[in-house]
Structure 1
Amino acid sequence: RSLQTMGELINAGVPMLDTIAITGDISGNRLFKKLWRSVYSSVKQGRKIAQTLEKSDLLPKAVVQMVSAGEESGKLGEVLDEVSDYYSKQLRDAIKAVTGMIEPLMIIIMGSIVGFIAMAIILPIFKMSQVVTG
């Protein structure tokens, strides 16, 4: 989410320091907020974004390399959009896989509950019929 926000802000022409500050503020994660504050300080001192991101374990090395390439080529916004799209697709696929595993489990659980309720209703009826015929 942070990379998507940053890419959109850069593509919209927002100054880099403002982009980094906004990205940190809306990240919604304490660790990412701390990371973006660190990036903000580094960029303010004249360093590149990728130099600070390299020191963190929050982002995969491939992402840091792509950010570095984007900075060097002057197309950081486009690169961040591509990276963001890639990870969004990865997340969607992971969610789809997890829900695919949960569905059969839920069917089994619901079937067990329905079976238990049916047995709770039918068993007393059978016992009453045995007492009556008895």
Structure 2
Amino acid sequence: MAWLESHRTDRHRDVAERILLRYVLDELDQLGTRLHAQSSTLYDDRDRLMAEADLRVNIGAGISILAASLSVRVSAFFVLASGLTILFVLMGVARARQANDVIVQALVIGEISSTALTEAESAVEVLSGATQND
């Protein structure tokens, strides 16, 4: 990407990448909406993965509360169920990451466009033209 290549040092490039990533993450919901408008198939994949993520995290939280209550009232054996809750939450986080990967891949193949990436590319073009004129 020209915008990142325009930064001279590795430190500058690292900071630029983090700033650009933050801007793209800020518009993640908008990108999901754009994906829905452009490709219902890709959006359906993302939506299914997000639904699975939500379900697993919520089940993990529910089991955690239930296990804590039962371990206090019935038996400390129910503390072992906390391992199950951690597994459910980790599986949910993995599904959420996969859902976001669908958006990233849609950006990569050009199915949708990011305002932040477009503005960064435009800034490079302006800066390139300014340095060539000097």
Query: How would you bin the TM-score normalised by the shorter chain?
Result: 0.3 to 0.5
